[in-house]
Chains A and B, each alone.
Chain A
Amino acid sequence: MTQQTPNPAHIEYVTRIGDNALILGQRMSEWCGHAPVLEEDMALANMSLDLIGQARMLLTHAGKLEGKGRDEDQLAFLRIEMHYRNLTLCELPNADFGRTMVRNFLFASFQVLLWERLLASSDTELAAIAAKSLKEARYHAQHAGDWVVRLGDGTAESHERTQAALDYLWPYTAEFFAANPTDEAIAAAAIGPAWSELEAAWEAAVVPVLNEATLTVPARTPFKSYGKFGRHSEHLGHLLSEMQYLQRTYPGAQW
């Protein structure tokens, strides 16, 4: 595989999945020491670890596909903002616990479907990572789904804040399914699905839980975000400045 000419779409596709995990893992880790209860503090830290573990495998793989000798650390810590390919949803600030849980639910439900499809990838390394990560993503979706119902169908205040979180986050989910040439090339090569193929299954997974949570599913709007194409919100730069600090200040530092 590494002897072949690098396929830009393949690198791009794996980088997107890796960056989703990396950036959400980093973002969620901000809860460490700050969660509303100790149990959730540990849960959020553990889910961050899962995501960062997935990111390590995926970025290592992307680096090998690229064939320029870049390893996971160089890809995680030494790229500039526009070279990250994560969904905008993953970089948005945590805000309150409710928004954090709604985001996790929307994203983990997507990840579960993506990993399920990648089990059959013609890229055997990606299929192996999918088999590993799918088991983790199922627990993340279940955990967040429980909280979405508990908060949405909770007190008047928890309902109001969870609905506000859903209203805020929902427009960013359109980006999950935005069609693009990379996805077309990847689907044609049987490396993975075009993410647009996952939209119906995702809605079928997400909407019943939102209904159970007594939340109103927002209507689709013309709003578009472009993080997976490298055009990010203002929030990513701030996240990176913290995440990259050590490698920028002490290049090549290891521990």
Chain B
Amino acid sequence: MITETQAWEVLHAVPDPEIPVISVTELGIVREVLARAGGLHVVVTPTYSGCPATEVISQSIHDALVAAGAGEVSVETRLAPAWTTDWITEPAKEKLRAYGIAPPGGDAPVGPQPLRFVPRKLACPRCGSTDTTRLSQFGSTACKALYRCQSCLEPFEYFKPI
């Protein structure tokens, strides 16, 4: 058996399957870890409704905790409160940038926006130039948009604020 604190330590090492440089805890999707008789109960929240990584994440969490000797592990998916990119930790945002994904801007609006909203200039995660342009609202996954840097000409992804 392991304690809740030890369980969090284990989860800090479970990577997000799509973006392996950050952990599931840094992504902010692990909401609760509760000790129970004979094991642990973990509450996770999905990022996007259709995110195909959600089931892999629940399985990874389960497997990591069982391997660490947690006993019986149950993983519950809870929708409310809805996940927001504000829950991504500050160190994780830097890791995203280093990985080539522009992190969600802390000052970017997450609520209602004018429909014809033109996003502010993002800094390229590779060269830092703000001379960038959006190629598509949706990148390789629903949570990211696709941009191109006009200075270094590299494409990059932007983790959209939600």
Pair B49/A132 contact, Cβ less than 8 Å: yes
**Which residues of chain A are near B52, meaning CB under 8 Å?**
49
* Residue of A whose beta carbon sits closest to that of B135: A39
The listed residue (A39, A56, A133, A136) touching B136 by CB distance below 8 A is: A39
The answer, yes or no, to whether A83 is at the interface (CB within 8 Å) is no
The answer, yes or no, to whether B162 is at the interface (CB within 8 Å) is yes
Known: A43-B137, A146-B137. A127 touches B115 (CB 8 A): no
Determine the interface band of chain B, counting residues with CB < 8 A from chain A: 20 to 34
Pair B142/A136 contact, Cβ less than 8 Å: yes
Pair B50/A53 contact, Cβ less than 8 Å: yes
Measured CB to CB, the closest approach of chain A to B69, in angstroms, equals: 30
Measured CB to CB, the closest approach of chain B to A108, in angstroms, equals: 10
The answer, yes or no, to whether A188 is at the interface (CB within 8 Å) is no
Pair B146/A39 contact, Cβ less than 8 Å: yes
Pair B115/A42 contact, Cβ less than 8 Å: no
Known: A43-B138, A49-B142. A54 touches B49 (CB 8 A): yes
The listed residue (A40, A53, A57, A142) touching B113 by CB distance below 8 A is: A142
The answer, yes or no, to whether B48 is at the interface (CB within 8 Å) is yes
Could you tell me how many residues of chain A have their Cβ less than 8 Å away from some Cβ of chain B?
38
**Which residues of chain B are near A47, meaning CB under 8 Å?**
138, 142
Measured CB to CB, the closest approach of chain B to A233, in angstroms, equals: 26
Pair B50/A142 contact, Cβ less than 8 Å: no
Measured CB to CB, the closest approach of chain A to B78, in angstroms, equals: 8
The answer, yes or no, to whether A245 is at the interface (CB within 8 Å) is no
**Which residues of chain B are near A48, meaning CB under 8 Å?**
50
**Which residues of chain A are near B141, meaning CB under 8 Å?**
46
Summarize A's interface: helix, strand, loop or mixed.
Answer: helix
**Which residues of chain A are near B115, meaning CB under 8 Å?**
109, 141-142, 145, 205, 208-209
The answer, yes or no, to whether A168 is at the interface (CB within 8 Å) is no
Interface string of A198-231 (1 = CB under 8 A from B): 0000000100110010000000000000000000
CA distance A138 to B84 in the complex (A): 14
* Residue of B whose beta carbon sits closest to that of A58: B49
Measured CB to CB, the closest approach of chain A to B51, in angstroms, equals: 7
Pair A136/B48 contact, Cβ less than 8 Å: yes
**Which residues of chain B are near A136, meaning CB under 8 Å?**
48-49, 142, 162
**Which residues of chain A are near B50, meaning CB under 8 Å?**
46, 48-54, 56
Pair A135/B80 contact, Cβ less than 8 Å: no
**Which residues of chain B are near A53, meaning CB under 8 Å?**
46, 48-51
The answer, yes or no, to whether A7 is at the interface (CB within 8 Å) is no
The answer, yes or no, to whether B91 is at the interface (CB within 8 Å) is no
The answer, yes or no, to whether A187 is at the interface (CB within 8 Å) is no
Interface string of B80-114 (1 = CB under 8 A from A): 11111000000000000000000000000010110
Ranked 7 nearest A-B pairs via Cβ: A53-B50, A53-B49, A49-B50, A39-B136, A128-B80, A43-B138, A128-B79
Q: Which residues of B contact A (CB under 8 A)?
A: 46, 48-52, 79-84, 110, 112-113, 115-117, 135-142, 146, 160, 162
20 interchain pairs (CB within 8 A)?
Answer: A42-B139, A42-B140, A43-B138, A46-B141, A49-B52, A49-B142, A53-B48, A54-B49, A56-B50, A125-B79, A128-B80, A131-B81, A132-B49, A135-B162, A139-B137, A143-B137, A146-B137, A208-B115, A209-B116, A212-B116
Q: Which residues of A contact B (CB under 8 A)?
A: 39-40, 42-43, 46-54, 56-57, 109, 124-125, 127-129, 131-133, 135-136, 138-139, 141-143, 145-146, 149, 205, 208-209, 212
